[in-house]
């Protein structure tokens, strides 16, 4: 199996649980796999399919996802095909013939196809080795994405009673897991639960104040990288995309109301790196197999934690660092409430409200967001501080909260323990709301007694009082607050209490990044251009050629022979033969010009840095030489590195907030003015467009240094 893994997929080792899952599948046992997006679920059935003698069928919910997976498999030398509504009848007949002739190992199907009796009759004539059900949570009515067509999958068990089934999902609570086992009639299934933790994702919730300006900053910081921005409504996606374009950011909207051809074209442009930003409703993304999405933004409140986890899971599927930012306003809850009230089935309405309440809890957390997500999906987390969500990265100053807690508890008692946090906060700050006056609450002793906290601050503090078991919040449409026994004792005894300062008063540290290589940025850009050229020639998305991780390893190791190139992660035998020479030639040419030798990849353990050592000792060695007012060329000579590497060190140090004296490196005025104009005219922060616009007049190192001084403007 390891030989097949390297030959077809270019990897030397299995990831967490893959080996055990594959062994279970090869033993022809039913299997349920819970593994986060980007955790390597697909290999758990793709690799056994290569070993099994007969056909493996894969049920997948979206056409685009099927196409991407089949493209990737074919690029890796695996016989694969899909049958769905995008194909003409003649094309389907041709694929069926190839299957009958044994030319196909994996066949991808939409669940709707299994409702067609003539197709099922054809399928029953075949010999199957394995049935794989992807996105298996869709079969459960308790799941966030229930699809009635998935109920057709029961027929597969009836038609092929002795064929093993593997069901896979990234999002399933314990209740949904049980439902999957029941609905698919899995027999004595082995259940494999990988950690739901996506350690490369940074979870951030920001107050929804001047959100568009904050969004622009995020997109400029990630300029040139792929990003998805989720919005509440179709109109919101179109207006936001138009506003972003006015600011010079290429963005296109995507929602179910657009013509099918427009949606297809937009998705294709995004996958092929031709448009970097998509503003979308949740209709977008489930069919996206794009590994290098660096930013996912929720501009509005998600409907459920399952949906949020799945949508953020589209970021960083290549294992490289990515950010997930949610803009939160309690007012957004009322938009969702409007639609929840329209749900006619009382049980469904209650479930929707319960899921929305969990999202509000997540947004108002004073503790680790990652821990909350893991425990929501039934995974216990020992760590109280993950080091990469905003609550854990916030400087945790404490304040004496006894007085404000007493005011809040007193107000809740005096208003009859019949209201939620928003109303209690309004009374405390002295709001002139008509309902407060109608109820006579403007005459209470607690009315207007808080002037040093905003209503938003008070809601955060109330949330902390709930977590301290001083208050309890009722479930349902009207989450009223009441005192616990502990809360009553606290109020009566006037006990001491310390709480973390509310977010508006706190500073955010830089998020921890994982698995970062100190690769040559200029070579990486050259390899990206080569990848795009080859992808366009073959009518494929760039990531099917090689992922960003593979390119980063190439730009670190400088492999200058096919043997060395074959050791890069993601380079299998098929890609080595088909693409190796072109990539190696590009690397050789670059390395010769810069006088660079091959170097080995560092051990993986060395590439997972701790928060305190994020910048790393190699950067500080560069910083020490910089303090001596040495030129980039001299620092590079002393360190035995390329000038481009030293320049990238300086950029990294600057972006991490290190204090640097760069004045002696400032480009001459005439040169700086010309470069600055080119950056502004291209509207890009990336180097290649500027390098080309200036007709290669300046080196990448010169452009990089100029960009450091321009950073505030860019």
Report which DSSP code applies to 389: B
Q: Which residues of 28-63 are buried (b: 16+ CB within 10 A; e: fewer)?
A: ebbbbbbbbbbbbbbbbbbbbbbebeebbbbbbbbb
Q: Give ranges for CATH 1.10.10.10 in the chain.
A: 398-505
2-193: CATH number: 3.40.50.300
Task: Give every residue of the chain whose pLDDT is below 70, as ranges.
Answer: 38-39, 64, 141-145, 283-288, 382, 395-396, 475-478, 502-516, 603-618, 652, 654-659, 680-689, 710-714
Q: Is the dihedral of CA 414, 415, 420, 424 positive or negative?
A: negative
Q: What's the fold here for domain 398-505?
A: Arc Repressor Mutant, subunit A (1.10.10)
Q: Give ranges for CATH 1.10.150.80 in the chain.
A: 515-614
Q: Which CATH superfamily is domain 201-393 in?
A: P-loop containing nucleotide triphosphate hydrolases (3.40.50.300)
Q: Give ranges for CATH 3.40.50.300 in the chain.
A: 2-193, 201-393
pLDDT at 345: 84
Residue 24's nearest CA partner among 258, 254, 186, 266 is 186
Q: Distance (Å, rounded) from C-alpha 194 to C-alpha 34? A: 6
Q: Distance (Å, rounded) from C-alpha 336 to C-alpha 354? A: 12
Q: How many CA atoms lie within 13 A of 61 on its CB side?
A: 20
> Which residues fall within 8 angstroms of residue 87, CB to CB, at 6 or more apart?
95
Residue 705's nearest CA partner among 521, 533, 572, 540 is 521
The CA distances from residue 686 to 238, 323, 525, 653, in Å, are 26, 19, 9, 18
Residue 172's nearest CA partner among 35, 317, 24 is 35
580-623 pLDDT, tens digit per residue, is: 999 999 999 999 998 888 988 775 433 333 333 334 456 777 88
pLDDT at 607: 33
Q: Is the dihedral of CA 505, 509, 512, 517 positive or negative?
A: positive
Q: Which CATH superfamily is domain 515-614 in?
A: HRDC domain (1.10.150.80)
How many residues make up the chain in this entry? Answer: 714
């Amino acid at each position: 199996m390891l030989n097949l893994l390297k030959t077809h997929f270019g990897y030397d080792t299995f990831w967490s649980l893959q080996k055990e899952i594959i062994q279970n599948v090869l033993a022809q046992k039913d299997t349920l796999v819970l593994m986060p997006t980007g955790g390597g679920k697909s290999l758990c059935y793709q690799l056994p399919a290569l070993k099994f003698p007969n056909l493996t069928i894969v049920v997948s919910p979206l056409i685009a996802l099927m196409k991407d997976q089949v493209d990737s498999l074919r690029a890796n030398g695996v016989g694969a095909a899909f049958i769905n509504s995008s194909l003409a009848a003649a094309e389907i007949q041709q694929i069926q013939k190839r299957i009958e002739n044994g030319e196909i190992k994996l066949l991808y199907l939409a669940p709707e196809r299994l409702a067609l009796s003539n197709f099922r009759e054809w399928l029953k004539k075949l010999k199957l080795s394995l049935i794989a059900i992807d996105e298996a949570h869709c079969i459960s009515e308790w799941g966030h994405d229930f699809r009635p067509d998935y109920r057709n999958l029961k027929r597969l068990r009836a038609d092929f009673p002795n064929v093993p089934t593997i069901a896979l999902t990234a999002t399933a609570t314990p209740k949904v897991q049980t439902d999957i086992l029941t609905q698919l009639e899995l027999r004595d299934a082995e259940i494999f639960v990988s950690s739901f933790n996506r350690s490369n994702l940074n979870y951030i919730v920001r107050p929804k104040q001047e959100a568009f300006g904050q969004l622009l900053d995020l997109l400029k910081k990630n300029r040139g990288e792929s990003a998805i921005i989720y919005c509440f409504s179709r109109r919101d996606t179109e207006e936001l995309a138009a506003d972003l374009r006015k600011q010079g950011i290429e963005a296109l909207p995507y929602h179910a109301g657009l013509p099918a051809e427009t949606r297809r074209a937009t998705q294709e442009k995004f996958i092929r790196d031709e448009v970097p930003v998509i503003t979308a409703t949740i209709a977008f993304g489930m069919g996206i197999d794009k590994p290098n999405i660096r930013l996912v933004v929720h501009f509005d409140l998600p409907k459920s934690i399952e949906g949020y986890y799945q949508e953020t899971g589209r970021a960083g599927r290549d294992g490289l660092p990515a950010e997930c930012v949610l803009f939160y306003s309690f007012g957004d809850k009322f938009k969702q409430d409007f639609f929840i009230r329209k749900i006619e089935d009382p049980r469904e309405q209650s479930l929707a409200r319960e899921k929305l309440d969990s999202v509000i809890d997540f947004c108002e957390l004073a503790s680790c967001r990652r821990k909350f997500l893991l425990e929501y999906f039934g995974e216990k987390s020992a760590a109280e501080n993950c080091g990469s969500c905003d609550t854990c990265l916030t400087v945790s100053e404490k304040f004496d909260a006894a007085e404000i807690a007493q005011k809040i508890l007193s107000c809740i008692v005096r208003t009859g323990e019949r209201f939620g946090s928003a109303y209690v906060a309004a009374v405390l700050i002295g709001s002139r709301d008509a309902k407060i006056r109608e109820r006579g609450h403007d005459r209470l002793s607690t009315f207007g007694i808080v002037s040093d906290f905003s209503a938003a601050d008070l809601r955060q503090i109330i949330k902390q009082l709930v977590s301290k078991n001083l208050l309890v919040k009722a479930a349902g449409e009207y989450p009223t607050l009441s005192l616990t026994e502990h809360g009553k004792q606290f109020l009566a005894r006037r006990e001491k209490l310390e709480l973390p300062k509310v977010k508006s008063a706190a500073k955010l540290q830089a998020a921890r990044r994982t698995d970062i290589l100190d690769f040559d940025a200029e070579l990486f850009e050259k390899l990206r251009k080569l990848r795009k050229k080859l992808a366009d020639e073959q009518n494929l998305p760039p990531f099917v050629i090689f992922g960003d991780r593979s390119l980063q390893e190439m730009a670190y190791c400088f492999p200058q022979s096919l043997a060395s190139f074959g050791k890069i992660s993601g380079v299998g035998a098929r890609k080595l033969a088909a693409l190796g020479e072109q990539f190696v030639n590009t690397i050789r040419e670059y390395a010769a010009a810069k006088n660079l030798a091959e170097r080995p990849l560092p051990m993986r353990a060395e590439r997972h840095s701790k928060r305190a050592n994020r910048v790393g000792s190699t950067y500080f060695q560069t910083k020490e030489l910089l303090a001596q007012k040495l030129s980039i060329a001299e620092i590079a000579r002393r360190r035995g590195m390329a000038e481009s590497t030293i320049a990238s060190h300086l950029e990294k140090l600057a972006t991490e907030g290190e204090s640097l004296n760069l004045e002696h490196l400032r480009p001459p005025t005439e040169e700086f003015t010309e470069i600055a104009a080119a950056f502004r005219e291209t509207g890009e922060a990336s180097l290649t467009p500027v390098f080309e616009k200036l007709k290669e007049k300046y080196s990448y190192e010169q452009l990089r240094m100029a960009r450091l001084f321009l950073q505030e403007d860019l």
